[in-house]
Amino acid sequence: NAGVTQTPKFQVLKTGQSMTLQCAQDMNHNSMYWYRQDPGMGLRLIYYSASEGTTDKGEVPNGYNVSRLNKREFSLRLESAAPSQTSVYFCASRYTSGWGVDTQYFGPGTRLTVL
Amino acid sequence: GQQLNQSPQSMFIQEGEDVSMNCTSSSIFNTWLWYKQDPGEGPVLLIALYKAGELTSNGRLTAQFGITRKDSFLNISASIPSDVGIYFCAGQGGANSKLTFGKGITLSVRP
């Protein structure tokens, strides 16, 4: 049981290049999230997927696209990377039960630098 | 939108001391979560609180869900060097709502 995994762990891009950040969870959770973390800004939600087949914008979606490939996998794509997208990206999955338990688990992060 | 306030941004304590952090909001939450983030890692869930007034412990950590449902605190007792990291609070308004995060408190522990 690996929890939430992310690849790659580090990436350097040039402005204008594209790439896809991969995320997978093996906990059978319905909801998955992508955040970015910048100094002094905390965690900001980029996109989320409440269930397989659905995606919605979060607080800072511009410049990103997502795909919920199946229940396990939720990818984040940068079509044309910009220096402002230099950040640490975290994927998370959420577990809710019928009796009030509601928790969210994070992956280890992808550290992206755009030159 | 909803906001969670955590302050100060940084705290410096001596090894062995207790430390308390709180998290406040102008909105009501149904769930409070406390996370710790080690340098270079993702946030790890420490404690989850689901009921107003609930007090929950996890080793040297104790957290409480405020009676008004607008605040929560985390206490670390007898701090050790590995307690260093960023501590985030997060609140959820309900089953279909997203997590709202505080900006985190960076804790430093002097040996």
> How far apart are the C-alpha atoms of B91 and B97, rounded to whole Å?
10
Read off the pLDDT band of A42 (50, 70, 90).
confident
- Contact yes or no for A6/A91 (Cβ under 8 A): yes
Interface mutation target, options A59, A106, A111, chain B, most CBs of B under 10 Å: A106
Short-list B38, B40, B73, B80, CA closest to B57: B73
Mean pLDDT of A84-88: 97
> How far apart are the C-alpha atoms of A93 and A24, rounded to whole Å?
9
Residue at token pair 């040297």: B60
pLDDT tens sequence across B27-52: 999 999 999 999 889 999 999 999 99
pLDDT tens sequence across B49-85: 999 999 999 999 999 999 999 999 999 999 999 999 9
> How far apart are the C-alpha atoms of B96 and B103, rounded to whole Å?
22
Predicted pLDDT at A96: 81
Burial class (CB in 10 A: 0-12, 13-18, 19+), B14: exposed
Is B95 a residue whose pLDDT tops 70?
no
Predicted pLDDT at A39: 85
What whole-number percentage of chain A has pLDDT above 70? Answer: 97
Mean pLDDT over all residues of chain B? 92
Closest residue, chain B, to A95 (C-alpha): B95
Closest residue, chain A, to B96 (C-alpha): A50
Q: Say yes or no for a CB contact (<8 Å) between B48 and A108.
A: no
pLDDT tens sequence across A70-85: 999 999 999 999 999 9
Distances (CA, A) of A40 to A6, A57, B93: 23, 22, 24
**Which residues of B are less than 8 Å from A109 in CB distance?**
40-42
Read off the pLDDT band of A33 (50, 70, 90).
very high
Mean pLDDT of A94-105: 80
The pairing of beta strand B10-14 with beta strand B105-110:
parallel
Predicted pLDDT at B97: 75
Read off the pLDDT band of A1 (50, 70, 90).
low
Q: Say yes or no for a CB contact (<8 Å) between A106 and B104.
A: no
For residue A49, the SS3 value is strand
Minimum-distance CB partner of A109 among B42, B98, B101: B42
